[in-house]
Chains A and B, each alone.
Chain A
Amino acid sequence: MTAGLLLDLLLALAVLGTAAWTLAARSQFAAVIGFVVTGLLLTLVWVRLGAVDVALTEAAIGAGATGVILLYVVARLRGGEAEISAATPSRAQRALAALLALSVGGALAYGVLSLPDPAPSLAEAALAGTAPLGLGNPVSAVLMAHRGLDTLLEAIVLVFAVLAVWSMAADHRWGGRPGPVFQREEHGPLSLLARILPPVGIVIGIYIAWVGADSPGGKFQGGTILAAMWVLPWIAGLVRPPSVTDWRLRLMIAIGPLTFLAVGLAGFVVAEGFLAYPPGFAKPLILLIEAAMTLSVAAALACLIAGPPERRRRA
C-alpha cells in the first residue's frame, strides 16, 4: 500500500469518525466542535483531491465561519431536556432512519464507483478559455466568465440572506447595530488578538483575494478572512458595527453584485451579450468585479455572523 493510499484511507476514516461523533456528542457544544473538526479534516481531503481553491473556501467558510455562528447560537439556546426527549424519534423510527441513510449511502457508493472511466471532463475546454481572459487560475476563469451567471446569482443570494437575517429583528430594535452588545474588553487574550490580528489578517485577506486571478484564492476566500478581521474587534467590544440603516454599510453589501450586474449588462453593448467581456479587456473588468465583490462578501459575511440587531437605536 503506498503512502498516498494510506493517507486517503486514514483521512476517510477520520472524517467519518468525527462526523459520527458529531451526531453522538452529548452536548450541543461538543457537537459543534465535532463539526468544525470534520470541516478542517475535509480541507485536507480537498487538498488530496487537487482542489486547493475549494480547500481554502472550506477552511474559511465551511469550518470557520459556520463554526462561529453555530457556537454563537449554542451559547444562547437552552433546550429543555423533557422537550427534546419527547420530540426524539422512537427506537423503531431511528432504525428506519438508519435503514434509509444506509440505502441512500449505499446507492450513492454504487453509483460513484460505477462512473464511466475515463471520466468526462471539461478541464481542457476550461483551460483553453482561461488564457484569453488574462487569468492563470482556471477555477477563477470558470467562476468569473464561463459560469459567471452562477457567481452573479450567488452574490445576490448573499445580499438576500443579509436582508432575511436583518428582518428577523424585533420591530423596536430595527435601526440598531447588528448583533448583540459585547462588553468592551481592555485586557485579556481576546482584546490582544483583536488588536494584533487585524492588521496582518487584512493584508492576508486582500492578498488571497488578489492572487485568485492566477493562483488558488479569490474573493470568497479573501472576503471571509476580511469579514473575520472585522468581526473580531466587534466581539472584543473595541469597535461597534455600523447601524443596519447606515447607507455606507448597505452600499458595501450591495456594491459587488451591482458592479457585477453593471459589467454584465455592459456586455450587451461592448461584447457579445450578457456577462460577456470584450476581447483584450477582460482582465481589468474581472479585477474590478473581484475587488467590489471582495468588499461585499466581507461586509455580507460579517453581517451574517453578527445576526439581526439586538439593541435599541440609542444603545
Chain B
Amino acid sequence: MTGTDILALAACGLVAIGLYGLVAQAEVLRKIIAFNLLGAGVFLLFGVVARRGAGAGLAADPVPQAMVITGLVVAFAATALALVLTLRLYQITGAATVAEDPPEPTAPDS
C-alpha cells in the first residue's frame, strides 16, 4: 500500500464521517459543518486521482487540481449563503433546526 492509497482511504473516511454528521445531527449549523467535511473528502479524492496521474515531470495532474481550486471557492460561496440563511431563519423563527414538527409553543396552562 502506498502513501497515496492511505490518503485515499482517509478521503473515503472523511466522506463517511461527513455523511453521517449530515444525516444524524439536528442543528443546521452542524449539518453545514458536516457537509463541508463531506465536500473536503470529495475534493481529497480528486487530489488522490491527481496524484495518481502524476507525469511529465509534474508532481500531480494539474486538471483535477484546477477543478478542486474552483470547487473550494464555490463551496465557500455556498457555505456563506447557507450560513446567512441559517442566521435569518433563526432571527425570524428562533429555530436552530429545520425539524418538520417544530416544538409546540408553550401552552398558557402548562
Which residues in A have some Cβ–Cβ distance to B below 8 Å?
4-5, 7-9, 11-13, 15-16, 19-20, 22-23, 28, 31-32, 35, 38-39, 42, 45-46, 48-51, 53-54, 57-58, 61-62, 65-66, 69-70, 72-74, 76-80, 82-89, 93-94, 97-98, 100-102, 104-106, 108-109, 112-113, 115, 117, 119-124, 126-128, 138-139, 141-143, 146-147, 150-151, 154, 157-158, 161, 164-165, 168, 218, 220, 297, 301, 304-305, 307-308
Contact = CB atoms under 8 A, between A and B. Distances in A.
Contact of A122 (B14, B47, B61, B102): B61
Contacts of B37: 19, 22-23, 35, 38
Contacts of A168: 84-85, 87-88
Contact of B53 (A82, A120, A157): A120
Contacts of A50: 50-51, 54, 58-60
A291 to B, nearest CB: 17
Contact of B40 (A23, A42, A143): A42
B97 to A, nearest CB: 4
A83 B103 contact: yes
B61 to A, nearest CB: 5
Contacts of B9: 12, 109, 112-113
Contacts of A28: 27, 29-30
A57 B73 contact: yes
A161 B81 CA distance: 7
Given A31-B30, A168-B88, A126 B47 contact: no
B18 to A, nearest CB: 7
A96 to B, nearest CB: 8
Nearest to A124: B56
Contact of B36 (A35, A79, A94): A35
A177 B10 CA distance: 43
